[in-house]
Chains A and B, each alone.
Chain A
Amino acid sequence: MTKPKKPILRVENICKILGGKEILKSVSLSLYKGELKVLIGPSGAGKSTLLQCINFLIPPDKGRVWLEETEIQSHKKRELYTFRQQVGMIFQDFNLFDHLNALENVAIALRKVKKMSRQAARDCAVAELERVGLGDKTTLYPAELSGGQKQRVSIARALAMEPKIMLLDEPTSALDPELIGEVLSVIRNLAQGGMTMILATHQIGFTRSLADEVLFMENGSIIEQGTPEDLLSPDACTRSRDFCSRLNELYEEGV
């Protein structure tokens, strides 16, 4: 794997205490262009909090974030909003805007944030929805879509902003097993298209086949990191390996 010298996103010493509990203990990571890093680990390890601290949806208590050499001054609102536009976020429970149909969900930020004209935003939204295979569902409202379709709309919504990186917070965890595939295939296409991403997931098979690096989190720290082969191969004696084989037993997921 050849990496450019400069990371596109650098996160240093993020700490977060919520309700007296230390959720993140000085977490650092670097993300390079085109890279897919996968965060795995048990629930409560701090994966979601880490992702939400990176784009300041949860303000970290301590720590610094750089996007392409520029440190984000999160107290400067303008800078923060510009930064967030460049960081796509996918949530576990989709968070589509319930009062807007699929097309408007994708178009609204283009109009309100990117100041595109109604028509341009529309065209762009249609193109993004087609890209995730929902070209025929543009007029449906979130309540009329299946979970998998909702998550694909939310991916289209994030992609429409042309983000430099994407943060995906367990995008398939709220889905029925038969709907997971359609969402994973969209993410796979993104990865193969060179999108830079951090993905928190429990899909070990997917991680094995696509991750450039696996970060194993437990109790607020990244305790292991390395290539999927290093951490997850059957003869690796790692905490990650243990965790994954237990997940596999649970879900009987073939690789």
Chain B
Amino acid sequence: MIDALIAIFEALPYLLKGALATSGIVIGAMGLGLVMGVHMAVGQVYGNRPTRWFVGLYVWFFRGVPVLVLLFLFYFGLFALIGLNLSAFAASILVLGMTTAAYQSQIFRGAILSLPKGQLQAARALGMSDIKAIISIILPQALRFSIPAWSNEYSIILKDSALAFVLGTSEIMARSHFVASRTYHHLPLYITAGCIYFLLTWLGVRALLKLEAKVRIPGYSQ
């Protein structure tokens, strides 16, 4: 028992460094997913036929293939094929980012479609171009309504980030596995790893709840 506590205590700084890597992956992937997802959603709702078709194909592919397969496919296959020499860390961000982009685009698409049609009409009637209307009228509302679903996506990506371990990224899971194999304290170390994930999930979801309250439209209930 004491051994286990000592093992955890000794490994903790090492694991927390892993938590930093995990945070980096999640923030990078969610950020990339946000930027790509918003563009894809706008393209899918307002774009011409080829754009809608392309986004549809992208979403279908990334939602249809397991993340683990995608990680191997891109890191060992496609990135090498196009001569892109990425670190495991960067590759994890890219692959998880592209995956969450597919899911996020559908969150934003749903939010955009849930807005009353009159919002875009009124903006057009004032002489706004569609781009201006989307940027100043549609997205500020759609993004607000996307926060609850986005927070869900955050918790999913946080846990999927453990898969980056297989590419050799030195994140929480990789580090716990490494220490556990060395010290044979498997149970306490994986419990610790689980607790760190739990803490990160809790912090992120809480921060997003705060954000949701902060940007809430006064008097508005959807």
Do A and B pair up? The answer is yes
For A58, the closest partner residue in chain B by CB is B121
Whether the pair B121, A112 counts as a contact (CB closer than 8 A) is no
B118 contacts the other chain (Cβ, under 8 Å)? Answer: yes
Question: Are B144's CB and A99's CB within 8 A?
Answer: yes
Interface size (A, Cβ < 8 Å)? 33
Closest chain-B Cβ to A138's Cβ sits at a distance in Å of: 13
B141 touching A98, Cβ below 8 Å:
yes
Q: Which residue of A82, A95, A101 contacts B122 across the interface (Cβ within 8 Å)? A: A95
Instruction: Indicate if A197 sits at the interface (CB-CB under 8 A).
Output: no
User: Would you list which residues of chain B between 119 and 145 have a CB under 8 Å from chain A?
Assistant: 119, 121-129, 132, 136-137, 140-141, 144
For residue B219, CB closer than 8 A to chain A, the reply is: yes
The verdict on B183 contacting chain A, using a C-beta distance below 8 Å, is no
| Set B127, B144, B220: member contacting A84, Cβ < 8 A | B127
> Would you call A91 and B127 a contact (CB within 8 A)?
no
Tell me if A143 counts as interface (CB < 8 A to partner B). Answer: yes
Q: Least Cβ distance of A184 to chain B in Å?
A: 21
Whether A121 sits at the interface, judged by CB under 8 Å, is no
A89 within 8 Å of B by Cβ? Answer: yes
A85 contact from B126, B136, B140, B217, Cβ within 8 A: B126
Say yes or no: A144-B128 contact (C-beta < 8 A), given A93-B118, A97-B119, A112-B136: no
Residue of B nearest to A110 (CB): B126
Considering only CB atoms and an 8 Å cut-off, how many residues of chain B contact the other chain?
23
Docked Cα-Cα span, A83 to B129, in Å, equals 12
Q: Is there a chain A Cβ closer than 8 Å to B116's Cβ?
A: yes
Asked whether, in the complex, the Cβ of B122 is within 8 Å of the Cβ of A113, the reply is no
Q: Would you call B218 an interface residue if the criterion is a C-beta within 8 Å of the partner chain's C-beta atoms?
A: yes
Given the complex, which residues of A lie within 8 Å of B127, measured CB to CB? 81-85, 109, 113, 161
Indicate if B221 sits at the interface (CB-CB under 8 A).
Answer: yes
Which listed residue, A98, A101, A113, A142, touches B126 by the CB 8 Å rule? A113
Distance in Å: Cβ of B139 to nearest Cβ of chain A = 10
Q: Check A95 against B118 for contact (C-beta < 8 Å).
A: yes
The one of B118, B129, B132 in contact with A91, judged by C-beta atoms closer than 8 angstroms, is B118
Chain B residues close to A by CB (< 8 Å): 116, 118-119, 121-129, 132, 136-137, 140-141, 144, 217-221
Footprint of B on A, CB under 8 Å? 55, 57, 77, 81-85, 87-89, 91, 93-99, 101, 108-109, 112-113, 140-144, 154, 157-158, 161
* Selected A-B contacts with CB under 8 Å, 23 pairs: A57-B124, A57-B125, A81-B128, A84-B126, A85-B126, A85-B127, A87-B125, A89-B122, A91-B125, A93-B118, A95-B116, A95-B122, A97-B122, A97-B123, A97-B137, A98-B141, A99-B220, A101-B218, A109-B127, A109-B128, A113-B128, A141-B218, A143-B218
